[in-house]
Structure 1
Amino acid sequence: MDTILTRFEATGGPKYRAVAGAIRSAIADRELEIGAKLPPVRDLAWTLGITPGTVARAYTILTDEGALIAEVGRGTFVAAPASEVQRVDTPWHQHLPAEETGLVSLFSPRLPDVGQVALIRDGFARLAAQPADGLLNYPSRKRFEPARRAVLRWLTGTPLGSIDESDIVLSHGGQNGISLVMQAVLHGKRPVVLVEELTYPGFRRAAELLRAEVVAVPMDGQGLIPDELERLVRKHDAQLLCTSPEMHNPTGLFTPLSRRREIAEVARRTGLHILEDDCYRVGRAHEQAYRALLPEQAWYVSSISKTITPALRIGFAVAPRAQGGRLRRVAEHGFFGLACPLADLTADLLMRDETYALMDRVRAEMARYIRVAVNVLGGHALNWREDMPFLWLELPAGWRAAALCQAAEAEGVQIRSSDEFALRDGFAPHAVRLAINAQVSLKSFEAALTRLRHLLDNPPERIAV
């Protein structure tokens, strides 16, 4: 602890960064050896004269970097470098369910199996009976026509404006679709991408891969603030806005049509392109998509990950009017398109009536879990909807997000801090996101949330507000 204290006192800047830097340099100088146990959060905070939440945030940063490893019930330890970690291959059938490990992950939505596994297996069996040329030749635009028509059926009821199959490009999940759109739109040495001030981290990661600068746009209770958007577009000569108006990740906010029209008008005046990420919507769309409001400048991305399965990595991007060729070229030049069997499976799944009946059952089962979560946590500031696969929880006085996440994991519950959805130097409110895990029993899910509620009701410190 003395090593960390000395280095902390010699470091300037935000305190959480100073703590992380002190630990990082101690590891680099071998003053903290691999496997060394770090002090508990509260003990180190007392020694350094700072809040436990600040230390918890530093531990979280270093854990994300791979410098530390947190073990439930044991503490936080210095991790071995990736090159020194011995790989252990565990057969797929030996992974233990949450009931046996005692850990319930609420990091990302986990869908129940209400029959889609059997449907997917049947789809693979159908593929195995197809002619051999499907397994011998390169993908082609014509070969993918059935899959694109199947996506059109999937999009029935989504208000995207005029659309045909030539506007659609299949992708390896929604994240790949986001990258494809960015490659189609961004140009220049240092393009600028705008995002909501709390946003899906995949936007930032995709932009950084393309050496783009990411700038956050302030929000209010209806989403992006149009005047702030226009100011930042003009200030930075921004090329693309990434947004989720139907179901904002992570807060669950919904952007009404009047606000969408204002945002579309800003984009029209400034030449800004809009990428709408609709991957988290599991129910019907409530308002027009930006592609309908701004047909020449708006792109749309979605996937089957939140309604059927994320395992297949089936997603799609929809180009603005008359720009489908531009999007196709990005995919073809990058990876030739999906593997033919995966495209054929997409066509099979999305054209079968059984798939849509299964989706209704998935939504109904997820809603059961959401209702349980609201019953347990409803006494706190909670944003939720029955068709939303996560909940946004504003923390009571006395809790910081990073500290709660660490305390929750010690109780066997994994949740996401608001820090993960803010830009690196952006503001993160005292809040967490809880994804619905319908792969554990409803009893285990409720028990995990009950442990979380106990933590919320008994904060470690009182902070003046």
Structure 2
Amino acid sequence: MKKLKVYKMIVSDTIWQPKVSTAGKSKYKALAQAIREGIVSGQLAAGEKLPPVRDLAYRVGVTPGTVARAYSLLIDEGRLIAGVGRGTFVSGQKTGSEAAIKAPVILDRPSNAPDRAHLLSPKVPDMGQSQLLRDGMQALSRNFHPEHLLRYPTRETDLAARLAFQAEIVPESVAHFTVDDIVTAHGGQSAIVMVLQTVLHGTHPVIAVDELSYGGFRSAALLCRADVVPLPWDEEGPLVAAFEEAIKSKSVQVYFTASEVCNPTVKATSPARRVEIAAIAQRYGVHIIDDDCYRLMKTKRIGPSYRALLPGLGWYVSSPAKTLTAALRIGFAIAPEGWGPALVRTATYHSFGVSRMITDLYAHVLATPELPQIIAQVKQRVAADIHAAVNILGGYQLNWSEDVPFLWLELPRGWRATAFCTAAEASGVLIKPAEDFALRDGRSVHAVRIAINGLMPHDAFVEAMGALRALLDQPAEQLAT
């Protein structure tokens, strides 16, 4: 076994000398363990500020990436919290016992790839909402009548959540609706599946999706045994002629889209194009599911949703997963006029509803006075990462918006998407190639999606962008013409 090495670190005004052993573990894990021990022993008190990544790296004698990964690991565990422009602090969360140190909870950190920047899926930064959730669970646990914890959920038990969601929606964006038109689901994906189960008919249903789109649309279609056809886009959105042709030739029943933010391209369908698409859907009786999960809460919309343009055929789906937390599994669907009872019936048959412990917690969190500031801070943190990426990668073709938690990077000549992702992984950065968002026989696109991982320290994200820039500046091959 290697001999223990003692590093001297200065945290705030206190000299702290943790024992950092790298025997059998990575340097960042050893550093994280030393910080854990300092927290449990009381040497690092709740609220104490840790040094900036580069300062601590210099003092300990490791790379900034090592410190950033150690901080990120401890943020995942809830032992540290980070705020844009404020630094990294010891959280107020109590750890319980020594067992928690030896067996920490690790999120999305595969054991065979511990040193990588995970930018595969957007993750919300913790700007205080985790504490709101903890406080909410404690408050609700004191107020729950025993009967609340023993009975199935109903339309009455989730009313508070539906009212809270209704209050967040700008009426003109989805047209007139009542709280009875809203149905709760176990997340946005669950809402999408329930809508499909409500409207699809026949033995071989067909749905249309955008040529590059969220893979969950295709997964939902697969669950409902539906075939999928792609719709090509131009700069305004889906091609109107292609949409009508798909309806005529393929008998499309439903069109999935995200009119405000196409995942992965960050493009929006222009208001004028939405009107054209809605007119075609109305003519042929095609339902449109408009997924509004990607633009951060409290952000002004670009245009009306398809529900506003198609009162009897437009469905609106959303969830708090990209703004507050993905762990609170709740989503919402607003049914078109006349379809509310059918969707309620599907939800009942689907799962008997969403647990009151979840719906009441959602309603409680949305009513807290601290929430607007927390949402503002989430948006600021996402914007900080987006701006850093644009500054570093800005010489290349990027689609981005500071209130969308991912970027779309079109690769320069010399890089194919899969080869670039492989090279990025070798450099410690995990991102998704364009083919993950296309149908299997879809058009080849040389681009990648870079997600914002708010659980990573900002410095670590900047380092990851630097690694991607180094790859972009040195193409591996010349693409065949």
TM above 0.5: yes
Task: Quote the residue 1:125 is aligned against.
Answer: 138
Task: Quote the residue 2:460 is aligned against.
Answer: 444
* Pairs within 5 Å for 1:384-463: 384-463=400-479
Amino acid at match of 2:463: A
User: 1:377, CA displacement in angstroms?
Assistant: 0.3
After TM superposition, which residue ranges in structure 1, 4 or more long, deviate above 3 angstroms? 93-98
The 1:173–1:90 alpha-carbon spacing in structure 2 relative to 1, beyond 3 Å, is farther
**Structure 1: distance between partners of 2:216 and 2:380:** 28
Task: Quote the residue 2:304 is aligned against.
Answer: 288
From 109, 118, 127, give the equivalent of 1:114: 127
Amino acid at match of 1:258: A
**Structure 2: distance between partners of 1:122 and 1:204:** 37
SS in 1 for 2:241: helix
* TM-score (ref. length: structure 1): 0.78
The 1:94–1:141 alpha-carbon spacing in structure 2 relative to 1, beyond 3 Å, is closer
**Structure 2: distance between partners of 1:157 and 1:439:** 33
Residues 1:276 and 2:306 aligned together:
no
From 223, 234, 248, give the equivalent of 1:209: 223
User: 1:94, CA displacement in angstroms?
Assistant: 8.9
From 368, 375, 397, give the equivalent of 1:359: 375
**Structure 1: distance between partners of 2:402 and 2:361:** 30
The 1:196–1:439 alpha-carbon spacing in structure 2 relative to 1, beyond 3 Å, is same
User: 1:356, CA displacement in angstroms?
Assistant: 2.6
The 1:428–1:368 alpha-carbon spacing in structure 2 relative to 1, beyond 3 Å, is same
The question of whether the paired residues in 2 share the 8 Å contact of 1:153 and 1:351 is answered with no
SS in 1 for 2:255: strand
The question of whether the paired residues in 2 share the 8 Å contact of 1:418 and 1:429 is answered with yes
**Structure 2: distance between partners of 1:289 and 1:355:** 25
Task: Quote the residue 1:168 is aligned against.
Answer: 182
Of 391-400 and 153-162, more deviation after overlay is shown by: 153-162
User: 1:97, CA displacement in angstroms?
Assistant: 11
Residues 1:308 and 2:337 aligned together:
no
Task: Quote the residue 1:92 is aligned against.
Answer: 105
User: 1:353, CA displacement in angstroms?
Assistant: 3.1
SS in 2 for 1:260: helix
Q: What do residues 417-448 of structure 1 show as CA deviations (whole Å, max 9, x unaligned)?
A: 00000001111310000011122111111111
User: 1:352, CA displacement in angstroms?
Assistant: 2.6
**Structure 2: distance between partners of 1:111 and 1:398:** 33
Q: What do residues 108-134 of structure 1 show as CA deviations (whole Å, max 9, x unaligned)?
A: 111211110100101101110122111
5+ residue gaps, structure 1, are 1-88
The 1:340–1:231 alpha-carbon spacing in structure 2 relative to 1, beyond 3 Å, is same
**Structure 1: distance between partners of 2:109 and 2:279:** 52
From 154, 159, 168, give the equivalent of 1:145: 159
**Structure 1: distance between partners of 2:163 and 2:172:** 15
Q: What do residues 138-171 of structure 1 show as CA deviations (whole Å, max 9, x unaligned)?
A: 1111121111101101224661000111011111
5+ residue gaps, structure 2, are 1-101
Amino acid at match of 1:451: A
SS in 1 for 2:174: coil
Amino acid at match of 1:252: V
The question of whether the paired residues in 1 share the 8 Å contact of 2:416 and 2:479 is answered with no
Task: Quote the residue 1:232 is aligned against.
Answer: 246
The question of whether the paired residues in 1 share the 8 Å contact of 2:271 and 2:302 is answered with no
Task: Quote the residue 1:331 is aligned against.
Answer: 347
Report % sequence identity. Answer: 45
User: 1:375, CA displacement in angstroms?
Assistant: 0.5
SS in 2 for 1:285: coil
SS in 1 for 2:408: strand
The question of whether the paired residues in 1 share the 8 Å contact of 2:255 and 2:287 is answered with yes
**Structure 2: distance between partners of 1:356 and 1:238:** 41
SS in 1 for 2:370: helix
**Structure 2: distance between partners of 1:357 and 1:401:** 38
* TM-score (ref. length: structure 2): 0.76
The question of whether the paired residues in 2 share the 8 Å contact of 1:158 and 1:284 is answered with no
Task: Quote the residue 1:16 is aligned against.
Answer: none
User: 1:416, CA displacement in angstroms?
Assistant: 0.3
**Structure 1: distance between partners of 2:110 and 2:346:** 40
C-alpha RMSD of the superposition: 1.8
**Structure 1: distance between partners of 2:442 and 2:388:** 33
**Structure 2: distance between partners of 1:205 and 1:285:** 27
Q: What do residues 172-196 of structure 1 show as CA deviations (whole Å, max 9, x unaligned)?
A: 1111011011001101111000001
Amino acid at match of 2:243: L
Q: What do residues 205-232 of structure 1 show as CA deviations (whole Å, max 9, x unaligned)?
A: 1101111000111111111011110111
**Structure 1: distance between partners of 2:195 and 2:381:** 33
The question of whether the paired residues in 1 share the 8 Å contact of 2:329 and 2:358 is answered with no
SS in 2 for 1:129: helix
SS in 2 for 1:245: coil
SS in 1 for 2:360: helix
SS in 1 for 2:459: helix
* Pairs within 5 Å for 1:163-202: 163-202=177-216
